[in-house]
A and B are shown apart, each in its own frame.
Chain A
Amino acid sequence: MEQVKQFKQAYSQTPWRKQLQVIVAFLLVVVLAALVAGIYLSVTSQAATLGRQIQDMQIRMEGSQRLDLNTEEDVNLVEIEPIEEIRVKIADLQGQLATNMSDAVMKEKAERMGFVPSIPENMTYFKVPGYQGRPLAQLAPPPAPMTVETTVLAPAYRESLIEWLEHQVNLVSRSWMPGRPQEVK
């Protein structure tokens, strides 16, 4: 028994054992620090990349672009087209479409296709049941009707304890005051 005790003591007191403890502790700290640093680097680099992408989009839409750079390459830098840029394109295309369908252009096309302006003598009128006439422009739905939200929950599910107490006190006080309207259930 005494021998075992001595062996344990000798083992625990060996110099290499102590060094190993120090080294392991140090390495543990280093590994942990590296882990934290790695995670930090990963997160911050992702944040920076996304931030740059957002800024690229903002600059592309509202900032200036260099003329001496290849525009196509520039565009490819940002895979997602900003919605503002799409809106500008839509507005531009709508303008082009309207120009191509202007009154003068359409009349010219109609004449080219052999149509002639209608004159009163050539017109025939007849009633089309259900026809309400040429519809006026409806570019968007009308405003939504005003709805007043009504709750279907019983007071017990929405009242706090204090509100419930207050309500009960009010009820009791009303019942003791003659001439006041009573709550009807």
Chain B
Amino acid sequence: MNTSEVSSSENEHGWRFKLLALLFSLVAILIIGQIIRIQLSSDADEFRKMGKLYAKALHVYYPRRGAIYDRYGNMLAGSKQVYEVAVDLNLVRNPETIAFSLSKVLATHIGYDYPGYYDYVFRVASGVEITNTNYVVVADYVTGDELKQLSDWSQRYANTTYRQKKNEVAPSLRGLVYRPRLQRIYPEGEMASPILGFVNWEGVGIYGVEEEFNDLLSGDPQTFWVSVDPYEAGQMPNVKDGVDLILTIDREMQADVERILDKALDSSGADAGTIVVMNPENGEILAMASTPRLNLNKFWEYTDILNSSTPLNRAVSVDYEPGSVFKILTMAAALDSGAVEPDTVFVDTGQIEIGGIWIHNWNYGAWGPQTMLGCMQHSLNVCLTHVAMELGTERFYSYMQNFGLGHPIGIDIAGEASGRLKLPGDNDWYESDLGTNSFGQGITVTPVQMLMAISAVANDGKMVLPHILQSMVDNGRQFTPTRSVVGSPISAETAHTLTKMLEESLQEESSDALVPGYSVAGKTGTAEIATPEGYTSSMTNASFAGWGPTDDPKILVYVWLEKPTTSPWGSVVASPVFKEVYQEAARLTHLPPDDVLASLNGQ
């Protein structure tokens, strides 16, 4: 082939190369043109938004809910690992298998044990159920065992060979996804349930400490965008766990007091009851029993146990007319103001008129000449009405307000009732109220209000706030708030005098409340319950408030039994309960009998 032949061949095929180059160039120009067109088009912003939507995923980080402990560090509320099971619609192959497996494995799981659950999951997994996202939660609070079963089923499906027909999809749990989370647990079950409350399915504290300190316990959930671009992997937000709480209650005492309360309800036939044990020196509540109680690990059953008018904690949330136990406060006010002395004699004629109504004693009898000690010992309404009249309306209500009555005391348990103290000037206050209020009728209080008021008598005239929170642990540090006296409604001298009077009163009547070996002071209460037809003696509230040792009180107990049937009297049904509780409290707080204590102290 000579040079002219080569040149002729190049000329012959050269146009083909040029044509190809032209075509490729055109395609390149078209692509570049399209890119520029899209960038400049009106839809560009929409495309950018879509891109961002797929570039990042929104995650919410939930901190661990703080645990709750008793005063000695026993856990009362903690957490356990459970799982949230969802369907990722992008991955689903066989919705039928997913629905079948879930409905079988969760056949006994609360919330998913209904017949239509299979249909629901099937609709979700097959995309029939309209959702905003491809990630749809189909089961929550799934236990580790249940998840293991699902995992086993998934493995079996994957390892089994199927002879498929045309257009038939092999069984598979592909598309079923899960993520771990924490669920509240209560190791003690129903113990202290009225104090603790519970956490509902939404993770919100309901009732008790769980509600009162919900913000502290739950921590602060944080929302964070996680990029799918590995170069943009950022640091996870530092989610601070919830605060741990240490309560003042003693687990063992709580269990014993609940046992005693249950026994008292059985023996007295009472509808419900409350017992609170408090240290009168600092207001620490050592035990607080109330009925009904709820197994907090099955909190969803609370609607079966509590109706709309039944609160979980009667000691805090129910106010009632306390009856004669209130005479402690009337006598404290009268002694402190100087209206009466312990040996002031009152001649009881069996009735007294105030504001146009006649007040009678509990037995409608006349008790003749009585000292103030006798008035308290025999719980004479007529005498206490006279004492209140001697004290005067203004001073009586001033003292009652100083005792913290008529408004919530601010206890750190949710759902506190305020009680009602009618005051002169109120539309529904009448002169006769001074008389009825003096012996605890026509006035409503909560047991914790009574505890706070009586703490002044048991604690040298200094009133302390009943509280349940001892300390909290936050950021690796334990904070213990200092508690201060919330008032001094009476003098130390009055407190000592009244304590001695009530100690003597119990001894002289050989009360069932007396505790062998220990000096205790206290007062019973029996209050008629108001009905639409008026007060009825057939239904009463039986109470007892007592404390000891009288020289240096360490234990203050309040007992309230509602509508006892074996006997309406507090002296019969509530006094023995006090005795039993006091004995247990003394044992658990290592408080020796008086003579032993004296010998140990070298007296």
Task: Give A residues with C-beta under 8 Å from B.
Answer: 44, 47-52, 54-55, 58-59, 61-68, 70-71, 84-85, 87-89, 91-92, 94-99, 101-104, 107, 118, 120, 123, 125-127, 133-144
The residue that A103 contacts in the complex, of B59, B233, B255, with Cβ under 8 A, is: B255
Contact between chains at A94 and B590 (CB < 8 Å): no
A125 to B590, CA, bound (A): 8
Chain B neighbourhood of A91, CB < 8 A:
64, 67, 78-81, 182
Chain B neighbourhood of A118, CB < 8 A:
587
Contact between chains at B177 and A92 (CB < 8 Å): no
Contact between chains at A143 and B477 (CB < 8 Å): yes
Contact between chains at B583 and A120 (CB < 8 Å): yes
Contact between chains at A68 and B178 (CB < 8 Å): no
The 8 closest A-B CB pairs, nearest first, are A51-B230, A137-B73, A98-B75, A98-B187, A51-B233, A95-B78, A64-B177, A125-B592
Chain B neighbourhood of A99, CB < 8 A:
185, 187
Contact between chains at A66 and B185 (CB < 8 Å): no
The residue that A68 contacts in the complex, of B57, B158, B185, B226, with Cβ under 8 A, is: B158
Q: In the complex, what's the smallest C-beta–C-beta distance from A72 to chain B, in angstroms?
A: 10
Contact between chains at A103 and B179 (CB < 8 Å): no
A138 to B476, CA, bound (A): 11
Chain A neighbourhood of B187, CB < 8 A:
95, 98-99, 101-102
A64 to B43, CA, bound (A): 33
Q: In the complex, what's the smallest C-beta–C-beta distance from B210 to chain A, in angstroms?
A: 15
Q: Is B473 engaged at the interface, CB distance under 8 Å to the other chain?
A: yes
Given A64-B135, A94-B78, A104-B189; A58-B178 close (CB under 8 Å): no
Contact between chains at B79 and A66 (CB < 8 Å): no
Given A103-B252, A137-B73; A63-B59 close (CB under 8 Å): yes
Contact between chains at A140 and B473 (CB < 8 Å): yes
Q: Is B180 engaged at the interface, CB distance under 8 Å to the other chain?
A: yes
Chain B neighbourhood of A59, CB < 8 A:
226
Q: In the complex, what's the smallest C-beta–C-beta distance from A146 to chain B, in angstroms?
A: 13
Q: In the complex, what's the smallest C-beta–C-beta distance from B173 to chain A, in angstroms?
A: 5
Contact between chains at B177 and A136 (CB < 8 Å): no
- The residue of chain B having its C-beta at the shortest distance from the C-beta of A52 within the complex is B230
Chain B neighbourhood of A70, CB < 8 A:
155
A139 to B387, CA, bound (A): 51
Contact between chains at A139 and B479 (CB < 8 Å): no
Chain B neighbourhood of A140, CB < 8 A:
473, 476-478
Given A95-B79, A104-B189, A139-B244; A63-B179 close (CB under 8 Å): yes
Given A51-B233, A98-B187, A136-B72; A68-B176 close (CB under 8 Å): yes
Chain A neighbourhood of B473, CB < 8 A:
139-140
Q: Is B285 engaged at the interface, CB distance under 8 Å to the other chain?
A: no
Chain B neighbourhood of A71, CB < 8 A:
151
Q: A51-B231, A140-B476 are in contact. List 8 more A-B contacts (CB 8 A).
A: A52-B230, A62-B179, A63-B179, A63-B226, A71-B151, A91-B78, A98-B187, A125-B600
Contact between chains at A137 and B59 (CB < 8 Å): no
Chain A residues touching B, majority SS: helix
Chain B neighbourhood of A127, CB < 8 A:
600
Given A88-B180, A102-B189, A120-B583; A62-B600 close (CB under 8 Å): no
Q: In the complex, what's the smallest C-beta–C-beta distance from A104 to chain B, in angstroms?
A: 7
- The residue of chain A having its C-beta at the shortest distance from the C-beta of B592 within the complex is A125
Max count, chain B CB within 10 A of own CB: residue among A44, A136, A138: A136
- The residue of chain A having its C-beta at the shortest distance from the C-beta of B59 within the complex is A62
Chain B neighbourhood of A88, CB < 8 A:
64, 81, 180, 182
Show 5 residue pairs from A and B whose CB-CB distance is below 8 angstroms, ordered by the A residue.
A64-B84, A64-B177, A88-B180, A143-B477, A144-B477
Contact between chains at B478 and A64 (CB < 8 Å): no
Chain B neighbourhood of A142, CB < 8 A:
477-480
Contact between chains at B158 and A92 (CB < 8 Å): no
Q: In the complex, what's the smallest C-beta–C-beta distance from B56 to chain A, in angstroms?
A: 11
Contact between chains at B71 and A136 (CB < 8 Å): yes
Contact between chains at A103 and B231 (CB < 8 Å): no
- The residue of chain A having its C-beta at the shortest distance from the C-beta of B62 within the complex is A62
Q: Is B532 engaged at the interface, CB distance under 8 Å to the other chain?
A: no
Contact between chains at B587 and A123 (CB < 8 Å): yes
A65 to B376, CA, bound (A): 71
Q: Is B349 engaged at the interface, CB distance under 8 Å to the other chain?
A: no
Interface bits B585-600 vs A (CB < 8 Å: 1, else 0): 0110010110011001
Q: Is B488 engaged at the interface, CB distance under 8 Å to the other chain?
A: no
Q: Is B91 engaged at the interface, CB distance under 8 Å to the other chain?
A: yes
Chain A neighbourhood of B479, CB < 8 A:
142-143
Contact between chains at B71 and A137 (CB < 8 Å): yes
Chain A neighbourhood of B72, CB < 8 A:
134-137
Residues of chain B from 202 to 242 with CB closer than 8 A to chain A in the complex: 226, 228-233, 236, 241
A160 to B362, CA, bound (A): 87
A101 to B74, CA, bound (A): 9
Given A95-B185, A140-B478; A64-B179 close (CB under 8 Å): yes
Q: Is B188 engaged at the interface, CB distance under 8 Å to the other chain?
A: yes
Contact between chains at B158 and A67 (CB < 8 Å): no
Contact between chains at B61 and A62 (CB < 8 Å): yes
Q: Is B340 engaged at the interface, CB distance under 8 Å to the other chain?
A: no
Chain B neighbourhood of A54, CB < 8 A:
230, 233
A83 to B351, CA, bound (A): 75
Q: Is B70 engaged at the interface, CB distance under 8 Å to the other chain?
A: yes
The residue that B75 contacts in the complex, of A66, A94, A123, A138, with Cβ under 8 A, is: A94
Q: In the complex, what's the smallest C-beta–C-beta distance from A91 to chain B, in angstroms?
A: 4
Residues of chain B from 555 to 603 with CB closer than 8 A to chain A in the complex: 583, 586-587, 590, 592-593, 596-597, 600
The residue that A141 contacts in the complex, of B80, B154, B478, B586, with Cβ under 8 A, is: B478
Q: In the complex, what's the smallest C-beta–C-beta distance from B238 to chain A, in angstroms?
A: 10
- The residue of chain A having its C-beta at the shortest distance from the C-beta of B597 within the complex is A125
Contact between chains at A64 and B81 (CB < 8 Å): no
A137 to B81, CA, bound (A): 25
A136 to B72, CA, bound (A): 5
